[in-house]
Homo-oligomer: A and B are copies of this chain.
């Protein structure tokens, strides 16, 4: 059996491992927290720091093939492992580009991939040179995650709140729709695209509010989005699974926001709604199998279950019974003992052929189900 390693042990790793059990593969996970969501679902759990060179290198030497479930891993170690013959998806060179949001933006620019205008700054002081660029979104080059390290700066008097680290300042886009598309590329160069999905965000936490699949956009825009994802993936020059987040602005222009070189929150619905889920697809890539079918079985909506404000402590899923009593609704809880405000605790997928029904049920689930502390 092939030995496969996953760097990171969060919910994405958890769902990868649920799927791994369909294939002949021996699984390894490295993560600092031995109680993380993925720890008990692998053959071998290794406690270690994914940002530490030695930890990542030593872990990588245990396996045949390596993947990530979070970007903040030690890329230098991956590069050394790759040079020593370990298969790594995504390739470390692609991860290096994506991991740093400054480098990511420069990559889009260099490859003529449409994205919002931007400038880079090294510290808070340099923000002053770009007053005319506001309103803009400031993103930390490294270390941001789940809405942290990203903030909107409207006016000059907000610059004092700016991050004081190397970051990118992106011209605020007048967003009409937020879209995500997942693209899979096998080692042989075969490509599969999932249908684009549409997302609604919570403006306060910058976390996904709910998602609907497929996106309600004209066919021409779908083609445009697919073409951009293909161009982007080709330029990254790496097999693997990539989630591309895009904006459609008020004038109908499509702009890439960010890319993740891994399974992604925007693909959770594929577990039930598509013939091959993003998790299944990544295993096919890792194990050198043919790509799966990205076709939808049914349209779907998806609600992220995040920790309620002002609640921190042992997690309680208020309303879980009511949601489980709903038809065509799938509950995924990530097994995190502790909740805190904004923490991703689970997700709910709703299947159905009627779009209004999908939206109605998503709202219903959001109203019913709360993660509070004990």
Contacts and interface: CB of A to CB of B under 8 A. Distances in A.
Copy number in this complex? Answer: 2
B324 A284 contact: yes
A27 B18 CA distance: 14
Contacts of A41: 17, 21, 40-41
A333 interface: yes
Given A18-B18, A24-B333, A321 B290 contact: yes
A284 B292 CA distance: 30
A22 B293 contact: no
A42 interface: yes
A289 B321 contact: yes
Interface string A304-327: 000000000001010011001101
B18 A324 contact: no
Contacts of A40: 27, 41-43
17 contacts: A1-B337, A15-B21, A18-B18, A22-B332, A22-B333, A23-B331, A23-B333, A24-B317, A24-B333, A40-B41, A40-B43, A289-B320, A290-B321, A290-B324, A293-B328, A295-B327, A297-B297
A144 interface: no
8 A-B pairs closest in CB distance: A290-B325, A40-B43, A293-B327, A289-B324, A22-B332, A18-B18, A290-B324, A18-B21
Interface string A222-255: 0000000000000000000000000000000000
A335 interface: yes
A344 interface: no
A293 B90 CA distance: 38
A335 B43 CA distance: 11
Interface string A279-313: 00000100001101101011000000000000000
Contact of A21 (B43, B284, B330, B335): B335
Contacts of A324: 284, 289-290, 292
Interface string A18-40: 11011110010000000000001
A118 interface: no
A333 to B, nearest CB: 5
Contacts of A330: 22, 275
Interface in A315-374: 315, 317, 320-321, 324-325, 327-328, 330-333, 335, 337, 351
A163 to B, nearest CB: 36
Contacts of A275: 327-328, 330, 351
Contacts of A23: 331, 333
Contacts of A332: 22
A18 B41 CA distance: 8
A262 interface: no
A139 interface: no
A96 interface: no
Contacts of A335: 1, 21, 24
A14 interface: yes
A345 to B, nearest CB: 10
